[in-house]
Structure 1
Amino acid sequence: MVVKVLFKFAFVRLLRLNLSFCMVFASRQCMVFYSLLAKFLP
């Protein structure tokens, strides 16, 4: 359970970092990342 919470926290941090990175560099990899993310999130 603790690992799950830590993973979620790290994932959110990574997501925010990636989002800010995308704002600066609107790369194609970014779009692929978010389309993959949309599949996994409900």
Structure 2
Amino acid sequence: MVRKIVTAGLLAGMFTLAACNTVAGAGKDVSSVGHATTKAADQSK
């Protein structure tokens, strides 16, 4: 029983870490698009 609980906890932790990395990567991508848009808008003035 304890082994099942530990296994479930480890799996949940792995999925949580994977999700955090994915969200962080997506945030960086959105940020870079925002910076590029701002740069393009400033150049077109």
When the two structures are superposed, what TM-score results if normalisation uses the length of structure 1?
A: 0.57
Alpha-carbon distance between aligned partners in 2 of 1:4 and 1:21, rounded to the nearest angstrom: 26
Which amino acid in structure 2 is aligned with residue 7 of structure 1? A
2:21 is the counterpart of 1:16 = yes
The share of aligned pairs that are identical, in percent, is 4
Partner of 2:7: 2
Query: Over alpha carbons, which structure has the higher Rg?
Result: 2
Quote the offset at 1:25 in angstroms: 1.3
Alpha-carbon distance between aligned partners in 1 of 2:9 and 2:27, rounded to the nearest angstrom: 26
Long gaps (5+) in structure 2: 1-5, 32-45
Between Structure 1 and Structure 2, how many residues are aligned? 26
More helix by share: 2
Alpha-carbon distance between aligned partners in 1 of 2:10 and 2:30, rounded to the nearest angstrom: 30
Structure number with greater CO (CA < 8 Å, separation at least 6) is: 1
